[in-house]
Amino acid sequence: MATVSIQSLTKRFGRVLAVDGLTFEAPPGKITGFLGPNGAGKTTTLRSLVGLVRQTSGQALIDGSRYQDLAQPRRVVGAVLESGSSRPGRSGRDHLRVLAGTTGVGATRVDEVLDMVGLTGAAGRRVAEYSLGMRQRLGLAGALLADPAVLILDEPANGLDPEGIAWLRNLMRGLAAEGRTVLISSHLLSEVAQTVDRVVIIDHGQLKFTGSLAELGSGTVVVRAVQLDQLRAALGLAGYQVTAAAGALEVTGATAEEVGRVAADVRIALSALTSEGASLEAAFLRLTSSDEAPRASRFRRPSAAPAPRGNN
């Protein structure tokens, strides 16, 4: 199977530095979550991987080659980077038949992928009648047509209802279990935490973290108390790195026992103390917070999906 490798990738759009010396890998057999605030450079990076953006410097490689240098790129890489690329007047099945013809895939594969994504019953309907979630499923079916070793998905859960999101999670896990490389970009951090094996977090085009979820939260103690400001000051004086997050403090470089001892010394009662590690959302906010923009504006919580016109 194939590894996705980003090596010192840099991309400028005029005076705007969208990606700044970014390096990371997404290995086979794993689901890698690609995370960052709006404007962090995620989409530019993914588009560089499939040859839609020409980087200023560095490399974006799939199995050691550029996408455009692959002999049969669609048989190696399946990508869903935007919705609405199909002609609305065509049926879902006809859309996939056209893709199959240009990819060199047999017609029987069309029905296979329609079944995989749960669109068999809606295959004869025009794409214009599809809900957003159904169009996402159709895009995924197109990406799976040539049975690729690598899947690159930008916001794949967009428009899916909770049942659809659970279905997508299981599908991606099954594909990764077959040895495929799955790289997904998403704002649904709670879902990412349940789905991925590894995370890559970027901000302002720069790498902030790459590794497993366990590594992301390692060495962190989460503590809650009424007197958070006083406790934060005391922990800082004790030499620990402290970050406020979601009504709690995250303490790096300390054990739960050490945090409890500091609180006892300054007579602060604790309401919660755990060394299980920080949540993905808390770690994300800690790594991507900056003085250049308020946290609330840099993390977009998922908005309600438009009312569907069919099954998601």
The SS3 call for residue 106 is coil
Residue 135 has pLDDT above 60, yes or no: yes
User: Do residues 156 and 136 touch, judged by C-beta distance below 8 A?
Assistant: yes
Q: What is the pLDDT of residues 60-71, one digit of tens each?
A: 999 999 999 999
Residue 301 has pLDDT above 50, yes or no: no
**Residue 173 counted as domain residue:** yes
Q: Distance between CA atoms of 150 and 4, rounded to whole angstroms?
A: 8
User: Do residues 30 and 199 touch, judged by C-beta distance below 8 A?
Assistant: no
- Residue 229 belongs to domain with CATH number: 3.30.70
Q: What is the pLDDT of residues 49-59, one digit of tens each?
A: 999 999 999 99
Question: What total of structural domains would you count in the chain?
Answer: 2
Q: What is the pLDDT of residues 29-43, one digit of tens each?
A: 999 999 999 999 999
Q: How sure is the predictor about 144, in pLDDT bands with cuts at 50, 70 and 90?
A: very high
Domain ends where: 148, 181, 211? Answer: 211
> What does the pLDDT read at residue 191?
86
Average pLDDT over residues 213-242: 86
- Residue 92 belongs to domain with CATH number: 3.40.50.300
Q: What is the pLDDT of residues 162-189, one digit of tens each?
A: 999 999 999 999 999 999 999 999 988 8
Domain ends where: 148, 180, 211? Answer: 211
> What does the pLDDT read at residue 227?
93
111 plus 72 within the same structural domain: yes
Chain centre distance of CA 304 = 19
User: Do residues 50 and 77 touch, judged by C-beta distance below 8 A?
Assistant: yes
Domain ends where: 211, 231, 261? Answer: 211
Tokens matching residue 197? 């094996």
- HSE on the CB side for 165, CA within 13 Å? 17
Residue 294's domain comprises: 216-298
> What does the pLDDT read at residue 107?
86
Average pLDDT over residues 138-151: 95
Between CA 48 and CA 137, with CA 76 as vertex, the angle to 5 degrees is 80
pTM (two decimals): 0.76
**Residue 157 counted as domain residue:** yes
> What does the pLDDT read at residue 213?
80
202 plus 228 within the same structural domain: no
Paired strand residues for 290: 293
